[in-house]
């Protein structure tokens, strides 16, 4: 399952490292009749929105590290580093360097995100409703073949040929598909509802196919590059999930958990509560409001909180009613 990084990356060099020297009025540059000091620089930089975001993230990461840092090991960081390296392939080092990181600082960045994620997960309490919603969106892994094309007209021609009774879909995929990851194997691919490498439009259409059936042309646009591709899918083995959730409970819990992590209301509330628990105090007026959104979120009751309070109140009322009824019955009996 593809995971997104939860907060923006800290810059490789923080302008606020220089601020620590501001007390001695250290010079950054001088010129005829003037000079620019670290203090001048800090006073200018602290009001920039990007730097305010930087300070906010620094505070959040520090608060989470103090509370949840022991949940993340060096091995976990190394594993995540190697996963990123594998995903980015030959361009990994160039991309890390272009982002302003060294190996050491990039691992620290990964650790910060792992700690943040660990802290958020520690506050997840899945309800039956959460699991039901995850179950509704879940489809088990299927085996299929895909052909990816750059032109809609060509895709229509390929779809027409691939739909013929005696068509060799594998051969057509090898000849026509532009997807380097699958074409050499005749377009063979496996995916489920949570697979991130297959567009949502393709998954939705594919899950409706019967074994051996070929789809119409499916149009999918990459949300990052805005590039449109055209897919033709042949279903090899589709599997109905049935009505029993138990065989897929691990997958369902993972989906439900990831849904929580992607819920900005939930994450803001947990971050806000963690900041409150850490008793964070802002000492610099320029940053006085940078945490207000999170603190407000922590103080706001969600519908689930309200439901929980209502259930607790209802339980207490039922217990009180039951006790009163029992007392009355005992009194009448003694009479």
DSSP string, 68-116: HGGG--HHHHHHHHHHHHHHHGGGHHHHHHHTT--HHHHHHHHHHHHHH
How far apart are alpha carbons 17 and 14 in whole angstroms? 6
pLDDT, mean of each 10-residue run, the chain (335 residues)? 43 49 76 92 91 94 97 97 89 91 94 96 96 96 97 97 96 96 96 94 97 98 91 97 94 96 96 97 94 93 54 46 43 42
b (16+ CB within 10 A) / e for 45-79 = bbeeeebbebbbbebbbbbbbebbbeebeeeebee
For residue 23, the model assigns a pLDDT of: 55
Residue 179: per-residue pLDDT: 95
Distance from the first to the final alpha carbon of the chain: 69
In the chain, where are the structural domains located? Answer: 15-122+263-299, 140-237
What percentage of the chain's residues is helix, strand, coil (to nearest 5)?
A: 60, 10, 30
How many alpha carbons fall within 13 Å on the CB side of residue 299? 7
Reply yes or no on domain 140-237 having CATH 3.40.50.300: no
Residue 225: predicted pLDDT: 87
Q: How much is the pLDDT for 324? A: 45
Q: What is the pTM of this model?
A: 0.74
Which tens digit of pLDDT belongs to each residue from 61-76?
999 999 999 999 999 9
User: From CA 111, how far away is CA 7, in angstroms rounded?
Assistant: 12
| Distance of alpha carbon 333 from alpha carbon 190, whole angstroms | 71
Over residues 214-246, the pLDDT tens digits come to: 999 999 998 888 999 999 999 999 999 999 999
pLDDT for residue 224: 81
């Amino acid at each position: 399952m593809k995971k997104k990084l939860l907060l923006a990356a800290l810059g490789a060099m923080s302008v606020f490292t220089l601020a620590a020297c501001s007390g001695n009025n250290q010079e950054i540059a001088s010129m005829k009749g003037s000079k620019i000091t670290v203090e001048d620089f800090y006073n200018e930089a602290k009001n920039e929105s990007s730097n305010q975001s930087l300070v906010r993230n620094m505070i959040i990461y520090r608060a989470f590290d103090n509370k949840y840092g022991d949940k993340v090991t060096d091995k976990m960081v190394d594993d995540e580093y190697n996963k990123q390296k594998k995903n980015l392939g030959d361009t990994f080092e160039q991309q890390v360097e272009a982002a302003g990181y060294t190996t050491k600082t990039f691992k620290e960045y990964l650790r910060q995100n792992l700690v943040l994620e660990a802290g958020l997960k520690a506050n997840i309490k899945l309800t039956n409703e959460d699991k039901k919603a995850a179950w509704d969106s879940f489809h088990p892994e299927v085996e299929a073949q895909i052909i990816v094309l750059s032109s809609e007209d060509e895709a229509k021609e390929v779809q027409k040929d691939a739909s013929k009774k005696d068509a060799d879909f594998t051969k057509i995929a090898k000849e026509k598909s532009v997807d380097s990851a699958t074409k050499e194997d005749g377009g063979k691919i496996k995916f489920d509802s949570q697979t991130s490498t297959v567009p949502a439009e393709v998954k939705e259409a594919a899950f409706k196919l019967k074994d051996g059936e070929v789809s119409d042309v499916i149009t999918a646009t990459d949300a990052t590059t805005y590039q449109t591709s055209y897919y033709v899918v042949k279903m090899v083995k589709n599997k109905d999930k049935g009505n029993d959730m138990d065989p897929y409970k691990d997958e369902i819990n993972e989906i439900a958990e990831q849904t929580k992590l992607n819920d900005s209301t939930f994450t803001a509330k947990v971050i806000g509560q963690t900041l409150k628990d850490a008793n964070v105090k802002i000492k610099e007026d320029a940053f006085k409001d940078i945490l207000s959104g999170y603190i407000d979120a922590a103080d706001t009751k969600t519908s689930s909180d309200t439901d929980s309070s209502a259930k607790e109140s209802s339980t207490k009322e039922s217990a009180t009613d039951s006790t009163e009824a029992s007392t009355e019955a005992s009194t009448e009996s003694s009479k």
